[in-house]
Amino acid sequence: MTARLLAGVDVAVDASLATHLDRHGRLPPLRTPGERAGMLDTLDRSGLLGRGGAGFPAGRKMRTVAAGSKRGARPVVLANGCEGEPASRKDTVLLTRAPHLVLDGIQTAAMMVGADEAHLVVQRGSATSTAVRHAVSERARTDAVCVTVHELPHRYVASEESALVQWLNGGEAKPAFTPPRPFERGVAGRPTLVNNVETLAHLALLARHGAEWFRRVGDPDEPGTLLVSVAGPPDVRRVIEVPTGTTVGDLLTRAGCDPTAAQAVLVGGYFGTWLPTGLALHTPLSHRGLRAVGGALGAGIVAALPRSSCGVTETARVAAYLAAESAGQCGPCINGLPAIADALRRLARGPWDERLAPALDRWLAVVNGRGACRHPDGATRFVASALATFSDDVTAHRSGRPCAASGTPGWLPLPSARQAEPGWR
Amino acid sequence: MRVRVNPIACVAHGVCAELLPEWVELDEWGYPVLDGEPLPAQLVTHARRAAAACPARAVVLSED
């Protein structure tokens, strides 16, 4: 009913260019400077916020990059479809089921900023890669700007924008010290527009239907629809599209989850925040709504933890994963995240030592904000929110009486050891 | 003026904390902790000295 990006999308329907054109019609070309300026105004008026996690106004970012071209360097468009978050599936769904919307968005963005090359980066060895390469080949002769598909090694921090740029420039996919930010000096030293693929797909529809249409659904301050990767009891793992501002409770119900079977809800992925179920169900899925309860929307991930799982154990699993996924560049992250993960492992499985309680609080505070990227900030937010939300379980674990569910198999998705690859190139 | 540390370059020599103890604390692993506030004028000379002396060239001064 509110599906836009996923309208008409079904596993039974092919993702070909012909189907895409039947469904959405042709993409209006932006041939003249006037048309390009008009589209920038449309984007500003639409209020579209980036869907990669930070929620930055898409129009403002584009104007910054377009201004860079006036200084003589031709901008580059970089579409980020890497989806480093293990609990996220939205970019995969979008790129495999509606790749042409993303490719339309890339063309529109390239016209708007005056780019003459574009790059689409996806996860290495994934089904996504095959799907997008096929889609790119279907339109290679008609696209104004050539799109090159790249496959990034599967590391959590590799899809951070400065890491992506460094990797495309021949280095390792590790975050870089900024400034310069990619919009100033990115791919090949040129001003680079980095957008999540969902943002670009929205742009493709905005180019067809205009700002008023775009604003017709969702929270008036952050309008439109949102792709959300949902997991929850009984056994739901799927991606759905809802208007921004939809409450977490409505989202879970629409996705087929039973909210009453959830003990807590993780919003925003492994850089996100655990919320008590009662609070989460009434919280709207918007940047403002989540900020008000101390959370963040992130890249649209909502995971309702079943009562049969142990929140402390789940948190320990993810903390160990995040510690192992550090790029190993910054001292506080190299030292702090393993210390935090080890304390959580001992909290979950024993043997616990009471001296770890103040140490854990100290590490969470001292690591926050001290990396070149936001990896330590995200990891500490995740852990700190878990300690608050699962405080009763934490008390039980500390007293040596772990909850009944501890020791059960993990519930939150993590890459298997087989998928984890050591390289950064 | 503000003092930042490039955390990728920093390898915890600790020289900044020796030369600018009023402004730089070290965490338990020896890495500098800075709050990003504007530097008081009387510390500017010391900050320049710390930046020049850092063996990793990790101390970054910015005028703003």
On whether residue B31 sits in a domain, the answer given is yes
Residue at which a domain ends, from A158, A193, A214: A214
A111 in the same domain as A80: yes
CATH classification of the domain holding A288: 3.10.20.600
**Quick check: A372 and B7 CB within 8 A?**
yes
What is the tally of structural domains in chain B? Answer: 1
Give the C-alpha separation, B3 to A90, whole Å: 40
Contacts of A376 in chain B (CB under 8 A): none
**Quick check: B7 and A332 CB within 8 A?**
yes
Residue A1 has pLDDT above 60, yes or no: no
A281 in the same domain as A133: no
Q: Residue A298: which region, alpha, beta or left (left: phi > 0; alpha: psi -120 to 50)?
A: left
What is the tally of structural domains in chain A? Answer: 3
CB A110 within 8 A of CB A27: no
Distance from CA of A221 to the nearest CA of B (A): 31
On whether residue A197 sits in a domain, the answer given is yes
Give the C-alpha separation, A72 to A121, whole Å: 26
- Whether B30 contacts chain A with CB within 8 A: yes
Length of chain A: 425
On whether residue B49 sits in a domain, the answer given is no
On whether residue B22 sits in a domain, the answer given is yes
**Quick check: B8 and A370 CB within 8 A?**
no
Cis peptide bond N-terminal to A180, omega within 30: yes
ipTM of the modeled complex: 0.94
Digit-coded pLDDT (tens) for A303-326: 999 999 999 999 999 999 999 999
CB A407 within 8 A of CB A350: no
A249 in the same domain as A195: no
On whether residue A405 sits in a domain, the answer given is no
CATH classification of the domain holding A54: 3.40.50.11540
- Which pLDDT band holds residue A422 (cuts at 50, 70, 90)? low
Specify burial of residue B49 (Cβ count, 10 A radius: 0-12, 13-18, 19+).
middle
Residue A93 has pLDDT above 90, yes or no: yes
Domain residue limits at A233: 225-306
Nearest CA in chain B to A174: B8
Specify burial of residue A192 (Cβ count, 10 A radius: 0-12, 13-18, 19+).
buried
Digit-coded pLDDT (tens) for A208-257: 999 999 999 999 999 999 999 999 999 999 999 999 999 999 999 999 99
On whether residue A295 sits in a domain, the answer given is yes
Nearest CA in chain A to B62: A179
Digit-coded pLDDT (tens) for B1-13: 999 999 999 999 9
CB B4 within 8 A of CB B34: yes
- Interface of A to B at Cβ within 8 Å reads 176-177, 329-333, 335-336, 366, 370-372
Using CA of residue A244, residue A247, residue A252, residue A256, what is the dihedral sign? negative
A79 in the same domain as A112: yes
Domain residue limits at B4: 1-37
Specify burial of residue B40 (Cβ count, 10 A radius: 0-12, 13-18, 19+).
exposed
Contacts of A336 in chain B (CB under 8 A): 29
On whether residue B20 sits in a domain, the answer given is yes
